[in-house]
Amino acid sequence: MSAECIFCRIVAGEVPADVVHRDDDVVAFRDLSPKAEVHVLVVPVRHVPDVVALGAADPQLLASLVRVAGEVAAEQGDGQFRLVFNTGAAAGQTVFHAHGHVLAGAGAADVGL
């Protein structure tokens, strides 16, 4: 856990969030500024800076994150979704804790993240 990381603080329960899924490995919560009808962030409990580092360090954890994204899309929408990972500041990553954006429903196809 990183004390400065907002996602680590959400995972720890220090910062409130609208959590839609929590298990030992992955937490999913609604984005505060949704870009689609369903916009949920899926994050590993473990602090890893980006999806490339996550895949290198723990491919099984990355697979769990993708599985949870699918479950969230099925529960919150119709199961059809986009899963977007921004990796690096130039690519739009603003929180350097690996996370995927689950985008579903109205507006999901038009979101540029």
Q: Which residues are catalytic?
A: 99
Structure tokens at 39: 């916009």
Structure tokens at 73: 């899309």
Give the whole-angstrom CA distance, residue 7 versus residue 4. 9
> What is residue 65's three-state secondary structure?
helix
Backbone φ, ψ for residue 4 (5° rounding): -85, -10
Give the whole-angstrom CA distance, residue 7 versus residue 83. 18
